[in-house]
Chain A
Amino acid sequence: MGGGGDGIAAAAPPPPAPAASGLLARQEMRRAGGFSAEEVRRDFPVLGRTVRGGKPLVYLDNASTTQKPSAVIDAVSDYYRNSNANTHRAVYALAEESTEAYESARERIARFVNAPRREEIVFVRGTTEAINLVAHSWGRANVGKGDVIVTTEYEHHSNIVPWQLLAEEKGARLEYVDVDAGSGELDLGQLERYLAGGGVKLVAFSLVSNVLGTITDAARIVRACGEAGAATLVDGAQAVPHMRVDVRALGCDFFAFSGHKMLGPTGVGVLWAKKEALESMAPFHGGGDMIREVRKSGSTWNDLPYKFEAGTPSIADVVGLGAAVDYLEGLGMDNVRRHEEELTRYALEKISAVRGIAVYGPRDASRTGGVISFNFADVHPHDVAQIVDGEGVAIRSGHHCAQILMERLDVAATNRASFYVYNTRGDVDALVRALDRVAELFKLE
């Protein structure tokens, strides 16, 4: 990666974040490069518990959802204890505080991904809703019969099914960029051939694969789409939590991510799009707060971003996401990435060394997010996951909402271990020990 259109790991320092809680001294130390996962763990109450008869919890399902630090739990709890009221409506004190908390989170989140304007940050339920919003509001107006939408074989179902629905409704064609089953990389030459074929209205891709961890060459895709006049939608669900993302530098048209995968609460996510795009789009849901005036003869729409935020939003969860962003800024996203890259390098080495393990996707930690998918001899992933769970180790088994990728890899399912700020080499060692137990029970040589 690198160059002008590269929105990941850009070198510019983040704007100063507001103080999260009493963690300032620790944050200063971390900024200076003193990141310690062991220390980070202490901020996460759930990591202190045991499971399955006294085994320490080893949580390695972070691509699915992440645990929450006290700062986030307290922010949500404090909101309900002290400030709960609906936003943007009433004039009393609580409503003012609630609106302020909600809008302040929007501003911090905008800064976190370097969005040019706060009103370009639309709160939705999660990445899935963000993509559906684009398919509905932008897709219906901009994709017609015979047009082409391109996605990739390593997308999550949430970046496939909305496009299947749209293509079916409009009589458009949906194409998939191949994934090389060996390297886990997209065949971007094929994408360029689709673009050269004409009629491509949108290219939708994830910045980091939720199964293989592959970091997509977004700069190349955005550049090629720009030249071909195709819009781009980036699923950032597996990227924003783990590396510095700069939507402005990335240059895409739409960018989606989820709060719960970045230490925030469930039920809140973000769609970012350029103001001009959002202004040109029809509303997604109709209801309260998204209107300017409602008459029997019809209605007019509220300003951005409220046009896309019908109904009472998930206020406490937005406040919690704001706290999560503060927490991550405190750790420093460059430290987060460095930690995960080091841990992934260690894990790739340890897991690959287990006899009978087949790892899918890039083997080079600098080319991958903190996600490792693997299969263990002929043992079904569900059995592997259940046995390692008996040792307190939580990994995911299944198709990871990526059945098209499973077909490409020619497997029904995989095991997946995925890392975050609080994972340590000790967690990887615990997984490898638990895999020994699988070998023992299934009498693997």
Chain B
Amino acid sequence: MSSGNAGIYHEMIVDYSRNPLNYGKMDSPDATHHDSNPLCGDSIEVHLRLDGERISDIKFDGKGCAICMACSSVLTEAAKGKTVHEARLIGKDDVLAELGLENLQAVRIKCALLSLKVLKYALYSHLAKCGGDGDADGLKEEAAGLY
């Protein structure tokens, strides 16, 4: 790369932005949440299908930059098949590391972590509704504190 920060636009990011994984809507999801970044206009919705405590299917839709779309792709791929308890442990470093974005500049972190925030809120809404996991409020705080 001729210049530092354009290096984040490697093949995988560009490909995911064009052909995101798990992109689309879901009929009557078991949990869903939406959020947006007011400054850049990224807007993401995450839908969960739950088979007991297991995430049997996950979809995201909305609009975002390449960073946002790529991170949403790898996040939904990582969450699919996990239990709610396992999925809530996915952290920001997991998402960033998957795409080599550990050194992403602060101003773009929101783009990368929007879908993680939305997923955590969706899991929280499920837990709050069904009980089950002891510390639902902790998850909500974690989502709010991501960036």
Chain B residues, Cβ within 8 Å of A379: 66
Chain A residue numbers with a CB within 8 Å of B28 are none
Q: How large is the interface on A (under 10, 10 to 19, 20 to 34, 35 or more residues)?
A: 20 to 34
B65 close to A380 (CB less than 8 A): yes
Please provide the chain A residues from 42 to 57 with a CB less than 8 Å away from any CB of chain B in the complex: 52-53, 55
Q: Is A443 positioned at the interface, with any CB of B under 8 Å from its CB?
A: yes
Provide the residues of chain A in CB contact with B108, threshold 8 Å. 382, 386
What chain A residues lie within 8 Å of B8 (beta carbons)? 386
B14 to A390, Cβ gap below 8 A? no
Quick check: A386 and B3 within 8 Å, CB to CB?
Answer: no
Residues of chain A in range 191-249 having any CB-CB distance to chain B below 8 Å: none
Q: Which residue of A378, A390, A397, A442 has the most chain B CB atoms within 10 A of its CB atom? A: A390
Report the minimal beta-carbon distance from A96 to chain B, rounded to whole angstroms. Answer: 45
Partner of B43, one of A55, A383, A390, A412: A412
- Is B111's CB within 8 Å of the partner chain A? yes
B9 at the interface (CB under 8 A from A): yes
Residue of B nearest to A55 (CB): B3
Say yes or no for B40: interface residue by CB 8 A criterion. yes
CA distance A392 to B5 in the complex (A): 11
Q: Check: A413 CB closer than 8 A to any chain B CB.
A: yes
Contacts of B3 on A, CB cut-off 8 Å? Answer: 52-53, 55, 390-392
- The answer to whether B5 touches A398, judged by C-beta atoms less than 8 angstroms apart, is no
A413 engages B9 (CB within 8 Å): no
From the candidates A390, A413, A437, name the one contacting B40 in the complex (CB within 8 A): A413
A15–chain B nearest beta-carbon distance, Å: 42
Q: Are A380 and B64 in contact (CB under 8 A)?
A: yes
Chain A residues with Cβ below 8 Å from B14 are 441-443
B4 on interface, CB distance cutoff 8 Å: yes
Measured CB to CB, the closest approach of chain A to B36, in angstroms, equals 9
> Across the two chains, which residue of chain A brings its CB closest to B10?
A441
- Give the residues in chain B near A55, CB-CB below 8 Å: 3
Chain B interface extent, by class: 20 to 34
Q: Is the CB of A386 within 8 A of B41?
A: no
CA gap between A397 and B41 in the complex, in Å: 10
Q: With a CB–CB cut-off of 8 A, which chain A residues contact B111?
A: 382
* A412→B5 contact, CB < 8 A: no
Check: A406 CB closer than 8 A to any chain B CB.
yes
A389 contacts chain B at the CB level, 8 A cutoff: yes
- CB of B25 closer than 8 Å to a CB of A: no
Number of A-B pairs, beta carbon distance below 8 Å: 64
Distance (whole angstroms) from the CB of A445 to the closest CB of chain B = 13
A52 to B1, CA, bound (A): 12
In the complex the two chains form, is B4's CB within 8 Å of A406's CB?
Answer: no
CB of A412 within 8 A of CB of B63, answer yes
Residue B39 interfacial (CB < 8 Å): yes
A387 touches B6 (CB 8 A): yes
Interface centre among B17, B41, B42, B111 (most CB of A within 10 A): B41
Complex CA distance for A433 and B111, rounded to whole angstroms = 26
Find the B residue at minimum CB distance from A441.
B9
**Interface set, chain A 381-413, CB cutoff 8 A to B:** 381-383, 386-387, 389-392, 397-399, 406, 412-413
CA distance A406 to B38 in the complex (A): 13
Q: Does B67 make an interface contact (CB < 8 A)?
A: yes
Contacts of B1-29 to chain A: CB distance below 8 A: 1-9, 14, 17-18
The answer to whether B9 touches A412, judged by C-beta atoms less than 8 angstroms apart, is no
**Contact status B41-A412, CB under 8 Å:** yes
A440 to chain B, nearest CB (A): 10
Find out whether the CB atom of B5 lies under 8 angstroms from the CB atom of A386: yes
Which residues in B have their C-beta under 8 angstroms from that of A389?
5
User: What separation, in Å, do the CA atoms of A387 and B3 have in the docked complex?
Assistant: 9
Task: With a 10 A CB-CB cut-off, give which of A383, A391, A412, A441 has the most chain B CB atoms.
Answer: A383
Contact B63 A441 (CB under 8 A): no
In contact, B41 and A390 (Cβ under 8 angstroms):
no
Give min CB distance, B42 to chain A, whole Å: 8
Q: Which of B6, B18, B39 contacts A386 (CB 8 A)?
A: B6
Q: In the bound complex, do residue B5 and residue A383 qualify as a contact, i.e. CB atoms below 8 Å apart?
A: no
Q: 1/0 contact trace for B25-69 toward A, CB 8 Å?
A: 000000000000001111100000000000000000001111110
Interface residues of A in 343-402 (CB under 8 A from B): 378-383, 386-387, 389-392, 397-399
25 CB contacts below 8 A, A to B, read A52-B4, A380-B64, A381-B65, A382-B40, A382-B108, A382-B111, A383-B17, A383-B65, A383-B66, A386-B6, A386-B9, A386-B108, A387-B9, A389-B5, A390-B3, A390-B5, A390-B6, A391-B2, A391-B6, A397-B40, A398-B40, A399-B41, A412-B42, A437-B6, A443-B14
Given A380-B64, A398-B41, A441-B14, 8 more A-B residue pairs with CB atoms under 8 Å apart are: A382-B40, A386-B9, A391-B3, A391-B6, A398-B39, A437-B6, A442-B9, A443-B14
Taking Cβ atoms with an 8 Å cutoff, the residues of B that contact A are 1-9, 14, 17-18, 39-43, 63-68, 108, 111
Q: What 5 A-B pairs are tightest by C-beta distance, nearest first?
A: A390-B6, A380-B65, A390-B3, A412-B41, A382-B65
Task: Give me the interface of A with B, judged by CB distance under 8 Å.
Answer: 52-53, 55, 378-383, 386-387, 389-392, 397-399, 406, 412-413, 437, 441-443
